Amino acid sequence: MIERIIEDFDIGQIARSGQCFRFRPLGEGRWSLIAYGRYLELTQRGQTVCFDCDADEFDTVWRPYFDLDADYGRYKCAVGKRDRYLQGAVAAGWGLRILRQELWETIVCFIISQQNNIARITKCVENLCLLFGETCYNIEGQAYHAFPTAARLAACTADDLAAVRLGYRARYIVAAAQQVASGEVDLDAIGRMRYPRAKAALMQLTGVGVKVAECICLFALHHTAAFPVDTHIRQMLDAHYPKGFPLSRYRGFAGVMQQYAFFYELQTE
């Protein structure tokens, strides 16, 4: 068990933020998470966060995953004092962090996210892992399922995925899996690219357009300059920034501001 005092961190907000779909509530202040094929339980009381893992796993997996070495207080201080909307968004989502997720999983999840809502995306991802992911066991011997590999999904047809209830997205996922499994699209190479090249390379994948590529860049590759615009953000921009969002003010971390705004919009639906 690893215990840390962490500022600007709220696991409940992160779990509900629409970045990742494999968090599960276990009770007040307690969550489980499956990522990188590992199972983690977290407990938070105020600024004290307990990670149910050893020191090596914490340092190599979860510290970077939760972006714990970044100063989110600095990001918040950059918000314009007269920007009432963004000040409100930061106050509402004060504990958010931009996660560093596994690239293939993030690609599939955000293909699924198109014209979808968080509850349905979460259920689809759960079913996909249950049916096609490797069965693993946590330290207590309880079974869980890793995210299915590109090779596993490349061997499927869209009909094979029918039970997942993906609709038209099933054929996109199978096609993208085949592109990755065959080496036509090299995810390792994309992981080393700078933001503009990575975004363009991701858009070679079937089912990945501009918005999905931006989400993947932000939530997997940690290109925090990415600023995905979905329906929620478009409505926010129209209502509060009709002349355009001040991206230049937040150069290099506009994606952090996007996440505050997106979470704020979710709370006011």
Give yes or no: 81 in active site: no
For residue 24, which of 129, 149, 114 has the smallest C-alpha distance?
129
**If 0-12 CB within 10 Å is exposed, 13-18 middle and 19+ buried, where does residue 30 land?**
middle
**Rounded distance, CA 84 to CA 264, Å?**
13
Catalytic entry in 76, 123, 199, 211:
211
Residue 158 · residue 164 · CB < 8 Å: no
For residue 258, which of 221, 222, 233 has the smallest C-alpha distance?
233
For tokens 């259920």, name the residue.
123
The helix (run of H) or strand (run of E) holding residue 262 is helix 254-267
The strand pair at 48-51 and 38-45 is best described as: antiparallel
Q: Which residues are designated catalytic? A: 211
